[in-house]
Structure 1
């Protein structure tokens, strides 16, 4: 396909030329386009210099096209009409995309936070369609980086290169056991060294919970191999409540279990397992439309969750 010449006039200038041809006046053309008469005259003169031929004959009684101008105008009509079709199509695509939002969220965020955010977002934009994908934090980041979703929610102390982020919620990890587990009867916190040496029920590698735990306990040695790995928070809770072993899990996930005494929280000495949940999007992309709206909804809930989990 041949490339356009750098002397090809812009669509806007061609539209002005067609208006002058139809209305016979620079002033009336200016009013039609909502610009000043000098601006119309300037566009026509620039186009004449660009093309290299005079396009208008100007007089006190008005302006009319030169023979060359009439020829350019005839050619321009199809170009402007085709551009209008293209513009309408792009606008339709933009409007359709503005009503769709792809989101991915880590298991904890998806189960305990995102549903409430989506309800609030629906109240703001009832016409918006949201598709939600659940994955561990590492996979959520890859989905956002790959452009498969526009926005992600992840756990952990950091985000991969290529993503921008904003803190939207606070959380902390809890060591929990079944009520009949020996740790539930302890009068003193479990030493971090003992926790490191104990086979635990853990989330799978790549999850924000697993990553946070490994990072927090790194100073106390490598973690003992897990007694059980589970890919969902619900499975970790169930195994812990059954007395299989201690588990490390989000406080968001076990709040009800602790109140009902299905699980018991065990304090651990010398470590801080607080963490943040972040909204992530591709670096360099502005927060616009539904993405901006959902991040706003999540951020407005941030102070409430911090009060709960500080």
Structure 2
């Protein structure tokens, strides 16, 4: 025997309480003929006569009274279940998991989050700062609701939205020989010099490698490999060696003469910044609001 559905049980309980199929139907906002058919189907399903139908209305039979008592218990559990589900959904909808690559996380996301908090102060936001490859994987596997990456090409298997462009530059401390060059550095000279670089999987490192390859230059082994944009910038400021970073990361140090930008000839270091989220999923709630903020206030 198939268990009855909760709405049929709710209808039966209302008929028993109100003494009328019409009144119960009105309470549930269904037509009286539809309610009558549902009750008849319930009686056939259970193999019991549940209602005594008269011109004055309906009363429950002894069997119907017992079934109504059990139905009230079932419905109380169903209502408790649905209240719990609604509470969980409300909690989830007020929580936003974001993953962002280093440059975007350090220099753009804080401003976007500030704007989001002004509009939705109740949102609890978790930010995972990692490299572009890890951001994409987190989005693919549902570990992040929204991601921001700086990889040169939009990744496959996720939904992608272009945000803005970025420009990478060669940076050295003021005393470095390149800071006194009277001509642009060549791609070959840059490739032949050990650089301070980000780790594998970084969008910054991937873009540099691709730009050098397009210029026909093969880079030598790195001088240092560091896992954050800030660590790379600090190492250059300390005089450890040259690096290639986003102009976003170097802007303050350039303005305060702690770093010098070295022009490079015939090397395209421009790159796009993208938002990514799980393929086939339509963003709603805080995730959609944060994306709209990032598109509206890119830099």
Q: Shorter-chain-normalised TM-score: which range?
A: 0.7 to 0.9
* SS at 1:270 equivalent: coil
Q: 1:9 to 1:222 in 2, by over 3 A?
A: farther
**Number of residues paired by the alignment?**
298
Deviation, structure 1 residue 48: 4.2
Partner of 1:308: none
Matches within 5 A, 1:214-225: 214-219=209-214, 220-225=216-221
Residue 12 of structure 2 is aligned to residue 12 of structure 1: no
Partner of 1:131: 126
Deviation, structure 1 residue 232: 1.8
Deviation, structure 1 residue 42: 4.2
Deviation readout 1:196-250 (Å, 9 max, x if unpaired): 2222111111111111211222232432111122222122222223443321101
TM (norm. structure 2) is: 0.87
Residue 88 of structure 2 is aligned to residue 88 of structure 1: no
Partner of 2:187: 192
Q: Is the contact between residue 163 and residue 275 of structure 2 (CA under 8 Å) also seen in structure 1? A: yes
Matches within 5 A, 1:110-125: 110-125=105-120
Show structure 2 runs of 5+ residues with no match. Answer: none
Q: Is the contact between residue 187 and residue 217 of structure 2 (CA under 8 Å) also seen in structure 1? A: no
CA RMSD across the alignment: 2.5
Distance 1:49 1:162 in 2: 50
Matches within 5 A, 1:135-214: 135-158=130-153, 160-214=155-209
TM (norm. structure 1) is: 0.85
Stretch deviating more after TM superposition (116-125 or 180-189): 180-189
Deviation, structure 1 residue 45: 4.0
Residue 24 of structure 2 is aligned to residue 29 of structure 1: yes
